[in-house]
Chain A
Amino acid sequence: MNEQLKMVREKVAGRPKLLVPQTAGFVYCPGCQEPLAARIIAEVLEELEVGGKSIGIFDIGCVSFLLGVLDIDALNTPHGRPPDMATAIKRAYPDNIVFTVQGDGGLLAIGADPLLGVLTRSEKITIIMLNNTVYGTTGGQMAPTSLVGQTTTTTPEGRDVTRFGFPVHAAEMIATFKGVAYCARGAFNTPANYQRTRRYMKTAFQKQMDNIGLSFVEIICACPPNWHMSPQDSLKWIEEKLILEFPLGEFKNVDRLE
């Protein structure tokens, strides 16, 4: 018997299969965490074995650069409109997995109309909102989730509540709708939060596969350039300020709508 002890090389972590191979980097800014959302979507769709029947709908904004990054059928849309497309596509192909990826401005400001529409009609889709508290692509204007006092290009003196109100809590608000089966908020500021968020994402897609109701995942993502911070300071900002304003966790998780 010729048994030998050999050192075997195994891959522990790398590019998920559903992320298209690249030769050049994403167009994202250094330290932007939005591509991590694509990563966990890719991992989760692979694990659930639904890559072949997934359709992703990407809004305008920093998220639009994720079109083409996943090896699934996908669309981009006019600003704010993914939930409408998702409604039509899910109703045409109810056995497919249909999800949207949108920013905080795209979902809560210009996208408020379609958002209310799908919540009212209880569409069985998955909405993923990447919350970086600004309109990133256009240079960092105030967004519905900007913090009180946050400096942005349209609030150069800081967000003033008497003129521009308070930040919107999407996950808490959406959890109040009866048509919602699952609602959670995650972040990528620590590996532990990354893993939790990944779990939330998997649960959200599972809710759609089980045909229960609308699922929603909000993810706080670092935006170093528009927060005027280094990537490392952005992580501290998330921990010390953003998670305080936008607590993490699951806000609704039901197996039946009523």
Chain B
Amino acid sequence: MVKAEVIIDEDLCQGCGYCVEFCSRGALKIRGDKFTSKGYLLPSVEPEKCTACGVCAWMCPEVAIEVYKYSPKLVI
């Protein structure tokens, strides 16, 4: 079961909404209830929908997004 994590840097995000636009899974939404310190609308992440494709990170002009994938690995 792949688990994904999307971290958005709240100091860098400018609420442009491209990540929401480009996410093919609808895993990011601007609900209107979260703000950055400058008053920009922060997106919220629904990690269950995320497949860790990384597109939101590529397309974020502020380079504010990091995407992590959790995958099961055999470890000694």
Contacts and interface: CB of A to CB of B under 8 A. Distances in A.
Contact of B40 (A16, A22, A30): A30
Given A28-B61, A30-B15, A34-B61, A15 B66 contact: yes
Nearest to B24: A191
Nearest to A39: B63
Given A1-B76, A34-B61, A10 B69 contact: yes
Contact of B16 (A8, A19, A23, A30): A30
Interface residues of A, number: 41
B6 to A, nearest CB: 9
Interface in A1-55: 1-16, 19, 22-26, 28-36, 39
Main secondary structure of the interface of B (DSSP, over half): mixed
Given A13-B67, A25-B14, A231-B16, A5 B73 contact: yes
A35 B17 CA distance: 15
A31 B40 CA distance: 12
A88 B40 CA distance: 43
Contacts of B22: 190-191
Contacts, number: 114
Contacts of A26: 12, 61-62
A5 B3 CA distance: 14
A166 interface: no
B52 interface: yes
A34 B65 CA distance: 17
B61 A4 contact: no
Nearest to A14: B66
Contacts of B16: 30-31, 224, 231
A7 B70 contact: yes
A232 interface: yes
23 contacts: A1-B76, A3-B74, A3-B75, A4-B75, A4-B76, A6-B73, A7-B73, A8-B70, A12-B53, A12-B54, A13-B56, A13-B58, A13-B67, A14-B57, A28-B14, A30-B14, A31-B17, A31-B61, A190-B22, A191-B22, A191-B59, A224-B16, A230-B17
Interface of A: 1-16, 19, 22-26, 28-36, 39, 188, 190-191, 194, 224, 230-232, 235
